[in-house]
Structure 1
Amino acid sequence: MSQNVSKEKKLTLISLILMIFTSVFGFTNIPRSFYLMGYAAIPWYIISAAFFFIPYAFMMAEYGAAFKGESGGIYSWMKRSVNEKYAFIGTFMWYASYVIWMVNISSSIWIVVSTAIFGRDLTSNWKILGLNSTQTMGLLGVILIVSITFIATKGLNKITKITSIGGLAVTFINLVLLFGSLLILALNGGHLAQPITSFKGAFFNSPNPGYQTLISVGSFMVFSIFAFGGIEVIGGLSDKTENAEKTFPKGVTVAAIVIAIGYAVGIFLCGIFTNWNEILSSPGVHMGNVAYVLMENLGYQIGQALGLASGTSETIGLIMSRYMGISMVLALLGAFFTLCYSPLKQLIEGTPDEMWPEYVKKIKNDMPMNAMWIQCGIVVVFVILVSFGGEGASKFFSKLILMTNVAMTIPYVFVAGAFPLFKEKTEIAKPFEIYKKRSTVLIATFFTIISVSFANIATILSPYLTSGDISSTIWMIAGPVFFTIVALGIYKKYELKHLKDQAIIATDK
């Protein structure tokens, strides 16, 4: 056994950085950031890397090393550090974030399908059974989630191939953006489509009229924090890293810098070929389709820079956006199939067995079949409520994305909040420690929680304070509140049953 351990290949500094980068870096964060803030998005990525990503990644590493032998993931971490109730609510919120993600993707994926087929987003013209385009997207979303749940309950073993093909194709888009932008820059003699008239004006003021106030600009931080999602993978890497005490903190720090620079460079590249007012100010452009609009424009501008005819340039643009659409369809479908059962299965199997009725725990084809249909019903209700809420496609997709960002960053607060108590528990063996002083533990926890909390509060309040859009604010609050109430209800029922069973055992003795 010791011979096998000694021969196990450890991660070097470079391989650790690459693993973190590929797990965290997401292409679509770049066009969305440029759409919302222009060049002014760049400083927020630097702030998020310094005050959220690095301190939180180090926490993940310490948790992962301490609890590497335990199943249950973050539930085990928080239960051992705080208590069972705190752990369950935090874990349930983590699970709920994926439910909100499914609500988002089940409707927004049709933009990707449209782009893959036609080369551009035509969903604003789609109408079924007399429904408007937003309601049609909702109906198609319902059909998709029901279909995926049906297929997934039959058992899944080859879906990872779809995910990996889509992932590789999306990764290639980053290279297309880089080299395509540099080609345009060279052929246009260094001219930027989005000019930089002054450093302050370009990097601290958004061209987007919806992001002019302090509260709206501050709300962008939730996007930059969300862009560092996927950080959970770090928890299991510390014990697999060569000379972890020195290599790991260095690797995480370098990875954070590389990712922040990657996003900064990507956002700047968008400005080489896209003038915000000319391309992105159109009412038909929104957060759901901006990535495809930008890629189509990249193709068009490459053609124009090469001196090709306008029709030929448009064809190149359609090929570019269609390629991205096909890549994203594959990647999103793969992710959807995995995420419709994986978080749910981890929630049920990682928490106490007594917490769930036998009906919910039923496993068939290695899938929690009944629980998946209950989950499907919840997603369907949310999709119908949001899509039939009476508003345009732009607001609809913006609302879905904001709901997803808020929901998926809330669990960070729970995990970070448990960290000081984890450090105080001397009975928990800690083979790997970066935070060795109480003061550094508290500072790291403070900055992590404050960063995420500030970003979420600003995001939730921004629609109402800036434009009187109370609907978006309510929906962003409604998701987390609904799932918190559900979590408390499940735990209360478990608590009463658990105490009752303990009382019966005590009486029998």
Structure 2
Amino acid sequence: MDKKLSLVGLILIVFTSVFGFGNIPTAFYLMGYSAIPWYILAALTFIIPYAFMMAEYGAAFRHEEGGIYTWMSRSVGPQFAFIGTFMWFSSYVIWMVSVSSKVWIPFSTFVFGSDKTQNWSLLGLSSTQTIGLLALLWMAVVTFFASKGIEKISKVTSVGGIAVACLNLVLLVTSLIILFLNKGTFQQPISSNSFFHSPNAAYYSMLAVLSFVVFAIFAYGGTEAVGGLVDQTENAKRNFPKGITISAIIISIGYSLGILLCGIFANWQRDLNASTTNLGNITYVLMYDLGYGLGKALGSDSSTSITVGTWFARITGLSMFLAYTGAFFTLIYSPLKTIIKGTPKELWPEKLSKTNDIGMPVNAMWVQFFIVGIIIVLTSFGGQGASAFFNKLTLMTNVSMTLPYIFLAYAFIRFKSNTDIHKPFEVYKTRGAAVFSTFIVILVVGFANLFTIIQPAIEGDPSSTIWMIAGPLLFSIIAILIYSRSKNKIDKYEGIG
């Protein structure tokens, strides 16, 4: 008999699946200490109720293939399921657009000691256009090697993932050393106001503050992965709800502590207010400040402190570059294989679903490259500066990655109402509890995305709003067209009609 997960083992898996180091610098940059209440709120209103939903799905459909498509198809219907699954897949397309551009920031930081991408120029192009061309090159190279099954590359780059995880420890230990040497002085002063008002002028309005919630939700991404852990958990009916709740508390405390630690060595107005600082490079800027702060706390002169800061940034850059590379080599084919293999084969042209001798959907991967390439060109040649470009990509990614949560949450109500589905594990014992939790999740995710989408337009940047709307809308239309093309065959496949 296979050994099952203990309560502690479950907590560790959830923590490592969800907690992301990069969310801490982003939160401190956007909201300072006032990000903390929103991270706690997101844990209570999103990760806990949503994870329980995923657990019930996972237990009910544990013997069936197809993942989230099967969950939604059996609960609501094949068309809804396909649109929701296609939206999930499209979020990874937007992720690839973003990361293929952002990956050059850690590369630059490692090579030069700081982010120089805003000064790069090829063939007389602007820095943003240059990054766009490099992003295309990155996509082409990774698609080519991944289609050949170069597994060793992703294994080597997994070292980056371990290194990024270690950055949490570096932040904690170094910050506490600086705090001790500086006799308890915080560079970013703490007051009762600090937890309710952002030092960032862009987040003074209530609309902007509410739009930050999507960052908090994004910080808890990966929760759907816990759905398959119910059967692997010892005494699941008691331990699983307890494990998820404890994990959410630990993760929110971890984020809150990390944000507080940033204030030990960085002052927002002094260190983060530069026009060159953006959502793409904030992690490296803050890690430079951490190293610089350590040098100063140890009594070193400015030159030595700058050197220490630069090496902190370089090591972070290398770690993040390797982690991005490893993730890219997996995600360039994994979601694609999932949507093609996990949905009815009648939906796809035979050439698109065809795999090579190592199981890679090569034709589909190059179609994916073409789609990502078009979006890269359109966004990078849109006429904005590098900081605005990276900020836009981050917002697009956050919106696209969180929208599928609404589909899965809505389907959960129908799932609970369907008496034909055997439910061996239930956290929500009554329909009322399920409806209330679903309402909360949809409300939080829906309004967070709404505020994120409309805020740029209200503040004079309609371009960002259009792109955040255009992505999900375009992919929804594509999903409807693909489904409509093969509707009769799918209905027959699903046993409808």
TM range (shorter): over 0.9
1:455 paired to 2:427: no
Select the residue among 241, 246, 251 that pairs with 2:233.
241
Give runs of ≥4 in structure 1 deviating > 6 Å. Answer: 499-502
- Residue pair 1:78, 1:415 contacting (<8 A) in 2 also: yes
Partner in structure 2 of residue 180 of structure 1: 174
Partner-residue secondary structure (3-state), 2:103: helix
**Take 1:245 and 1:390, find their aligned partners in 2: how far apart are those partners?**
55
Partner in structure 1 of residue 252 of structure 2: 260
Deviations 1:120-145 (A, max 9, x none): 10111110000011111101000000
1:468 paired to 2:488: no
What displacement does 1:500 show?
Answer: 9.8
Partner-residue secondary structure (3-state), 1:158: helix
Select the residue among 215, 225, 236 that pairs with 1:223.
215
Gap regions ≥5 residues in structure 2:
none
Partner in structure 2 of residue 376 of structure 1: 369
Select the residue among 317, 320, 338 that pairs with 1:346.
338
What displacement does 1:159 show?
Answer: 3.8
Select the residue among 405, 416, 421 that pairs with 1:423.
416
Deviations 1:95-137 (A, max 9, x none): 0000000000000110010011112101111100000111111
**Take 2:154 and 2:75, find their aligned partners in 1: how far apart are those partners?**
34
Partner-residue secondary structure (3-state), 2:403: helix
What displacement does 1:156 show?
Answer: 3.4
Partner-residue secondary structure (3-state), 1:9: coil
1:389 paired to 2:382: yes
Partner in structure 1 of residue 144 of structure 2: 150
Partner-residue secondary structure (3-state), 1:447: helix
**Take 1:440 and 1:156, find their aligned partners in 2: how far apart are those partners?**
47
**Take 2:382 and 2:147, find their aligned partners in 1: how far apart are those partners?**
31
What displacement does 1:488 show?
Answer: 0.5
Select the residue among 427, 431, 443 that pairs with 1:438.
431
What displacement does 1:361 show?
Answer: 1.0
Partner in structure 1 of residue 402 of structure 2: 409
- Residue pair 1:81, 1:421 contacting (<8 A) in 2 also: yes
What displacement does 1:335 show?
Answer: 0.4
**In structure 2, what residue type is equivalent to 1:426?**
T
**In structure 2, what residue type is equivalent to 1:471?**
S
1:299 paired to 2:263: no
Partner in structure 2 of residue 139 of structure 1: 133
- Number of equivalences: 494
What displacement does 1:453 show?
Answer: 0.2
Partner-residue secondary structure (3-state), 2:429: coil
Partner in structure 1 of residue 487 of structure 2: 495
What displacement does 1:163 show?
Answer: 4.2
Deviations 1:226-270 (A, max 9, x none): 000111220010110011001000000000000000000000100
Select the residue among 119, 123, 131 that pairs with 1:129.
123
Partner in structure 2 of residue 4 of structure 1: none
What displacement does 1:157 show?
Answer: 2.6
Partner in structure 1 of residue 242 of structure 2: 250
Partner in structure 1 of residue 114 of structure 2: 120
Partner in structure 2 of residue 309 of structure 1: 301
- Residue pair 1:39, 1:202 contacting (<8 A) in 2 also: yes
Which deviates further from its counterpart, 413-422 or 153-162? 153-162
- Residue pair 2:164, 2:316 contacting (<8 A) in 1 also: yes
- Residue pair 1:63, 1:235 contacting (<8 A) in 2 also: yes
**Take 2:493 and 2:255, find their aligned partners in 1: how far apart are those partners?**
54
Deviations 1:278-331 (A, max 9, x none): 011100000000000000010011000000121111111111111111111111
State the identity as a percent: 58
Matches within 5 A, 1:79-90: 79-90=73-84
What displacement does 1:427 show?
Answer: 1.4
**In structure 2, what residue type is equivalent to 1:370?**
N
Q: 1:227 to 1:490 in 2, by over 3 A?
A: same
Select the residue among 314, 335, 339 that pairs with 2:327.
335
**Take 1:433 and 1:289, find their aligned partners in 2: how far apart are those partners?**
43
1:31 paired to 2:25: yes
- Residue pair 2:333, 2:365 contacting (<8 A) in 1 also: yes
Partner in structure 1 of residue 68 of structure 2: 74
Partner in structure 2 of residue 62 of structure 1: 56
Partner-residue secondary structure (3-state), 1:458: helix
Q: 1:167 to 1:499 in 2, by over 3 A?
A: closer
Deviations 1:185-209 (A, max 9, x none): 111111110012x31x200101111
